[in-house]
Chains A and B, each alone.
Chain A
Amino acid sequence: MARYLAQRIGQALLVVWLAYTFVFLAVQLLPSDPVTIFLTVDSAVDQAAIDTMKSQYGYDQPLPVQYVHQLLGLFSGDFGYSLASGESVSDRISGVAGSTMVLAGSAFVSAVLIAVLLVAAATLTRSGAARRFLVNLPPLFSAVPVFWLGLVLLELLSIRWGVMSLFPDGSFLSLAVPVLVLAVVVSAPMAQVLLKSMAHVYEQPFIDVLRAKGASRSWIFFRHALKNAAGPALTITGITVGTLLAGSVITETVFARSGLGSVVLQAVTTQDVPLVQGLVLLTATVFVVVNLVVDLLYPLLDPRILKSNRQGSARALAA
């Protein structure tokens, strides 16, 4: 177990480091340095101003020095400074990250609930028509664009019926509706994969043995089938983090919520390279951490994972 843990954590750190290096190199591929780009977005600026700012932000150093300097900065939580506001990148991000965390986190939990409930209903219902309907919901969910669903709900709830404010006012609905919009989209791939692996589990002979023990359908589903089918769905769940973050940016924009969405938008439109760098790194880190958690959850779901990791020692005992 300790070895498995060390392996996974090591891999996660490696991915974050590679992501950082990749972003650093990508910045060097830009036609000019970040400061020049930033300052020449809308008007011509004299070279002296550019040089002063470059030396302030350290862009006049040789590349290897910049690389090592920035990398060391990361370990102390220093992501550099935003060119637009002069604020530190970490302050700029942490100031709004909380709001996004609440949105994305609630949407994520809701998505898992939606997926599991949908699959449970589809598996346990005795009506063929109900099952066909439920099974076709996930493809529909993933086909609906987030911004469209958001706009439609805003139109109905705020403008037609007036039950919800157009802007976030701290009411339950002003959080619940964006969360639901995001959750529906994110739950689609989870439900689809879970349905698929559930179908496979129900073909296994051990399901017949459980029925022969006298277990009811819901007993079999919740106590056995779900745990068996969860593996592939969990993997997909790790991957949906990307959808989740991209979706929160859109949802925040539609519902006029402050959060990472607006920061991303600003950073890109003003060509604030250090801020973009920080955001990319943050996204990569979240992605890696979530997938690390998924990897660590796997052995809890399926005891065979650890065994196959050690190979050979799992050989069956003689009868």
Chain B
Amino acid sequence: MNTREAPTRPRTETAPDRVPHVPDELLLDVRGLRIEYGQGDAARTAVDGVDLALRRGEIVALVGESGSGKSTLAKSIIGLLPAAARRTAGSIVLGDTNLTDAREKDLEKIRGVRIGLVPQDPGASLDPVRTIGSQLAEVFRLHRDGPRRSRRSVRADVIRLLDLVGIDRPEERLKQYPHELSGGLKQRVLIAIAFSLQPELLIADEPTSALDVTVQARVLDVFERLAREFGTAVVFVTHDLAVATDHAVRIVVMRRGRIVEDRPVADILAEPEDEYTARLLEEASPHPRAEARLVSVAGPGATPAIEVRGLTRDFDRAGEHHRAVDGVSFGIAQGTTFSLVGESGSGKSTTARMILRLLDPTAGQVLIQGEDVTSVSGDQKRELWRSLQLVYQNPDSALDPRLPVRKIVGEPLLNYRIGTRVERDGRVADLLEQVGLAPGLAGKRPLELSGGQRQRVAIARALALGARTLVLDEALSALDVLTQAQILRLLEDLQQDLGLTYLFISHDLHVVERISTTVGVMRRGQLVETGPTADVFGNPASEYTRLLLDSNPGHRLRALTDSRSTAALSSSR
């Protein structure tokens, strides 16, 4: 935790003498809450009879998959449910105020003053056409009981707030617009807004899921420090159990609109009561790749599946020269998985696109199965893509929504004029079976499938032409933890059965540690470290890798897994 000296608190007109921390006093009391989307027969219950109590200053993580109702619950507390949602039962009480049937006018006086919000997507959560300064000052202008405050006194408060969340040169920032700030800075501004009137309760809705791990770690530190300093209770909504365990004192697990577990972190970690929680924990815990699962790798001297030498790519933007990838060299042995990790903008995806020959390198060579493909074009490129395929980050937009699964998977066969219609149908059926999709799904369209099923379709399509090497660009990032684990298992099985080689690109170090044979760490276009997974994770050589690993959430989980395995060892003796 940051041990920085507590700065002076911003002056607030609304609640000057609020007691910052009164432990054990009940702050939020949600009872029997039930929320439905839609009307009549089409109604769907998103939150189903939920009880939730928070004491003052308590940090509680609300964990669950997408669709579990966690966001709906959080939004109902601050009264920001979408128009289609209705509360059909239950009550919400904040301190001595009943919010259940509060009118909009009354809620406006509570929001921002007693309840704050830190939103999910910092990129789109600030008004793009107003300055940072005016958006911060707005909170003070919206809630003033006393006489109108002078510009200077508001400005002083705003600067103090920016200072509080660790933003450098606050005076300059006031005049800047959101697009001039990075994602991490924008989230700090949003945190400053949320804390500006020192609310009793803060709703943080996946506040860092859009940020890189290193930025996430810093932002969460700021967030937690302020919450403790001001004695703010926090409902921290997240799908990431590793993040939750690092920052919360209590974890509430939601599934299908119900709370399945609600206990202190230590208890849950030691002994989850609910089977679903246990599975979440299991998947969130570190899983080093089991050595036994390693496919027998061809001996030294064998041709690598992918090899790049001195790969470089420059971009010129309006006279400004920018080197996105800078002399990257590595090789991937047949049947293994090589992961590229790094923050956004580090050049991972650009490297992958050059290997796929979707982008021309400025310098360097790309060798696929020992063959130099750096300058292939036209038909040769088409030939290359028979053996080298891409699975993209977002299966939602990578699949044509109007085509049924059968056609999506069979399209590459059609493009390359392979086989007769009957043969192609047979091949598609085989592929669907290979990726574990029921034959009945062949006629469905992407929108009717779950995220995991869609990603399976994308993998089947990539394998349709018999590709031996797959480039997986953040292929699991859009999926829930449990779905991620299933797709990971599928990838491992396919690798063993078909001897596939993977180039895996991800910012998620848990997944990387689990799937990779070797790892490369990229920073600012350069490969700062490569090596076997265990070495890189266990004994990082570069300073940057160490920083990346330290930022990786789940310290408490890892500590616990270690102690568990030690305990298991000692008890088995």
Give me the interface of A with B, judged by CB distance under 8 Å. 204-206, 208-217, 219, 224, 227-228, 301-304, 307, 310-314, 316-319
Q: Do B112 and A213 touch across chains, with their CB atoms under 8 A apart?
A: yes
With beta carbons under 8 angstroms apart, the residue of A219, A302, A311, A312 that contacts B129 is A302
When chains A and B are docked, how far (Å) is the Cα of A211 from the Cα of B105? 11
10 contacts between A and B (CB under 8 A): A206-B126, A212-B117, A214-B111, A228-B129, A302-B129, A303-B129, A303-B179, A312-B319, A313-B320, A316-B180
Complex Cα gap A228–B319 (Å): 30
Contact with A along B145-185 (1 / 0, CB 8 A): 00000000000000000000000000000000101111111
Given A211-B80, A212-B78, A214-B108, A313:B318 Cβ within 8 A: yes
Q: B100 near A: Cβ within 8 Å?
A: no
Q: Are A219 and B184 in contact (CB under 8 A)?
A: no
How many Å from the CB of A83 to the closest CB on chain B? 52
In the complex the two chains form, is B139's CB within 8 Å of A206's CB? no
Residues of chain A within 8 A of B102, CB atoms compared: none
CB pair A314–B124 under 8 Å, yes or no, is no
Are A213 and B127 touching (Cβ within 8 A)?
Answer: no
Residues of A within 8 A of B322 (CB): 312
Q: Are B127 and A206 in contact (CB under 8 A)?
A: yes
Which residue of the partner chain, among A211, A228, A301, A319, contacts B215 with CB atoms under 8 Å?
A319
Residues 110-146 of chain B, each 1 if its beta carbon lies under 8 Å from chain A, else 0: 1111011101110011111110000000110011000
From A219, A227, A228, A301, B142 is in contact (CB under 8 Å) with A219
Whether A213 and B138, one on each chain, are in contact in the complex, defined by CB atoms closer than 8 angstroms, is yes
* Cβ contact within 8 Å between A209 and B181: no
Whether A214 lies near B177 (C-beta < 8 A) is no
Which residues of B line the A interface, CB within 8 A? 78, 80, 104-105, 108-113, 115-117, 119-121, 124-130, 138-139, 142-143, 177, 179-185, 188, 190, 193-194, 203, 215, 218, 317-320, 322
A316 touches B182 (CB 8 A): yes
Q: How far is the CA of A302 from the CA of B319 in the complex (A)?
A: 24
Closest chain A residue, CB of each to CB of B110: A214
Check if A304 sits within 8 Å of B179, measured CB to CB. yes
Contact of B116 among A206, A212, A304 (CB under 8 A): A212
Known: A214-B112, A214-B113, A319-B215. A209 touches B183 (CB 8 A): no
Asked whether, in the complex, the Cβ of B129 is within 8 Å of the Cβ of A206, the reply is no
B120 closest partner in A (C-beta): A205
Considering only CB atoms, which chain A residue lies closest to B196 in the complex? A213
Give chain A nearest CB distance to B346 CB in angstroms. 13
List B contacts of A301 (CB < 8 A): 129
Q: A214, A219, A224, A228 — which one has the most chain B CB atoms within 10 A of its CB?
A: A214
Of B113, B130, B193, which one neighbours A224 at CB under 8 angstroms?
A: B130
Contact in complex: B80, A319 (CB < 8 Å): no
Contact A319–B190 (Cβ < 8 Å): no
Chain B residues with CB below 8 A from A211, complex form: 80, 111
User: For the complex, what is the distance from the CA of A206 to the CA of B78, rounded to whole Å?
Assistant: 15
Cβ–Cβ < 8 Å partners of A219 in chain B: 142
**Residues on the B chain within 8 Å of A215, using CB:** 108, 112, 138, 142
CA distance A319 to B177 in the complex (A): 15
Chain A residue at minimal CB-CB distance from B219: A319
With both chains docked as a complex, state the minimum distance between the C-beta of B439 and any C-beta of chain A, in angstroms: 38
Point out the residues of chain A lying under 8 angstroms from B183, CB to CB: 316, 319
User: Given the complex, which residues of B lie within 8 Å of A316, measured CB to CB?
Assistant: 179-183, 185
Q: Nearest Cβ distance between residue A314 and chain B, in whole angstroms?
A: 7
Residues of B within 8 A of A228 (CB): 127-129
Q: A205 is contacted by which of B78, B124, B185, B319 (Cβ under 8 Å)?
A: B124
Q: Are B124 and A204 in contact (CB under 8 A)?
A: yes
Cα A23 to Cα B129 in complex, Å, equals: 41
A311 to B317, CA, bound (A): 6
The minimal Cβ–Cβ distance linking A235 to chain B, given in whole angstroms, is 16
A307-B179, A312-B317 known; 10 other A-B pairs, CB under 8 Å? A206-B124, A206-B127, A206-B128, A209-B126, A214-B142, A216-B108, A304-B177, A312-B322, A314-B179, A319-B215
Residues of A within 8 A of B119 (CB): 205, 208-209, 212
Cβ distance B138 to chain A, nearest Cβ, rounded Å: 6
Which partner residue on chain B sits nearest A208 by CB separation?
B80
- How far apart sit A133 and B504, CA to CA, in the bound complex (Å)? 54
Do A318 and B318 touch (CB < 8 A)? Answer: no
B318 touches A311 (CB 8 A): yes
Inter-subunit contact A317/B180 (CB<8 Å):
yes
Bound Cα distance A211, B182 (Å): 23
* Cβ distance B28 to chain A, nearest Cβ, rounded Å: 16
CB closest chain-A residue, reference B194: A212
With CB as the reference atom, state the residue of chain A lying closest to B315: A312
Q: How far apart are B99's CB and chain A's nearest CB, in angstroms?
A: 14
* A317 contact set on B, CB distance < 8 A: 180-182, 185
Residues of A near B128 (CB, < 8 A) are 206, 228, 302, 304
Determine whether the beta carbon of A213 is less than 8 Å from that of B129.
no
* Chain B nearest CB, measured from A267 CB (Å): 45
Partner of B109, one of A204, A214, A312: A214
Give Cα distance in the complex from A209 to B130, angstroms. 14
For B320, the chain A residues whose CB sits under 8 A away are: 311-313
Given contacts A316-B179, A319-B185, A319-B218, contact A209 B125 (CB under 8 A): yes
A231 to chain B, nearest CB (A): 9
The reply to whether A214 and B143 contact each other, CB–CB distance below 8 Å, is yes
Which partner residue on chain B sits nearest A319 by CB separation?
A: B184
Report the minimal beta-carbon distance from B343 to chain A, rounded to whole angstroms. 10
A215 to B180, CA, bound (A): 25
Q: Which residues of A contact B127 (CB under 8 A)?
A: 206, 210, 224, 228
Known: A205-B125, A228-B127, A301-B129. A213 touches B139 (CB 8 A): yes
Report the separation of the CA atoms of residues A215 and B109 in the bound assembly, to the nearest whole angstrom: 9
Give the residue name and chain of the B residue nearest to A316 (CB): B182
For A304, list chain B residues within 8 Å (CB): 128-129, 177, 179
**Alpha-carbon distance A29/B543, docked complex (angstroms):** 76
